[in-house]
Structures are given as C-alpha cells and as structure tokens.
Amino acid sequence: MASALINVPAKAKRGDIIEIKTLMSHIMEPGYRHRASGETVPRDIITGFTCRFNGTEVFRADLFPAIAANPFITFFTTVTESGKFEFEWIGDKGFAETASASIAVE
C-alpha cells in the first residue's frame, strides 16, 4: 500500500527557514507504455500535492507524468510557531493519502 516518508525537523527556532522532504510511494504510470498485447497501460499518477501548516497552505504542486515514480519533493518554509504540518497527495483512480508531522518552535 501507499506509504509516505516525511522529513521535518523536530524542533526549530522562531523564524527559522526549514527544509521539508517528502516521498510518497507510487508507480506514476505515465500512460504512454504498451502491453505486449498492444493495449496502452492507462495513466495512473499523483496529480496534486499540498502541504498545510496549522491549516494554512504553505506549498502546493501540480504533478505530471514527467515526475519520476515515488514522487520526491523538497521545499522550504518559515516557522513562527509550534504546530502540525499536514501533507496530502491526490491522484488518478481515486488516489488520496495523507501524512502529518509536528514541529516544536521555541
């Protein structure tokens, strides 16, 4: 089953810029390959990724078939208070997964 790897620092100082690394296991079938029988393998990709901090969106991405399997995305954000990051991936065939990570800001 789908599983996520999230790397968020456990704690940071107020105002720090932190790096967040995310990986979601997914085949990211581009929809251009064929089976030996000639039929096209239907597209099955993650199309969207969102990261929210305490309910506010801090990063969002639209993904296309040109993103490699098991999408790995890293980005930055500034933290000013303790709280929880929530991550959400949505995709073809009703794919929807979430993950979360907490950070303590002092």
Partner 1 sequence: MHDESTRREFFGLAGGAAMLAVTLRPAEATPAMLASAIRNVVGTAPVQTGKVKLEIPPLVENGNTVPMTVSVASPMAPEDRVRSIHVFNEKNPQPNIGNFYLGPQAGRAQVSTRIRLADSQKVVAIARLSDDSFWSASVDVVVTLAACTEEVI
As a whole number of angstroms, the distance between CA 96 and CA 106 comes to 33
Shortest Å distance, C-beta 96 to partner 1: 19
Among 69, 96, 98, 102, the residue binding partner 1 under the rule CB under 8 A is 69
Q: Which residues, other chains included, contact 102 with Cβ-Cβ below 8 Å and sequence gap of 6+?
A: 8, 10, 82, 83, 84, 85
Work out whether strand 17-24 and strand 4-7 pair parallel, antiparallel, or are unpaired: antiparallel
40 binds partner 1 (CB under 8 A): no
Shortest Å distance, C-beta 34 to partner 1: 5
Binding site for partner 1 (CB under 8 A): 17, 30, 32-36, 41, 53, 56-69, 71-78, 80
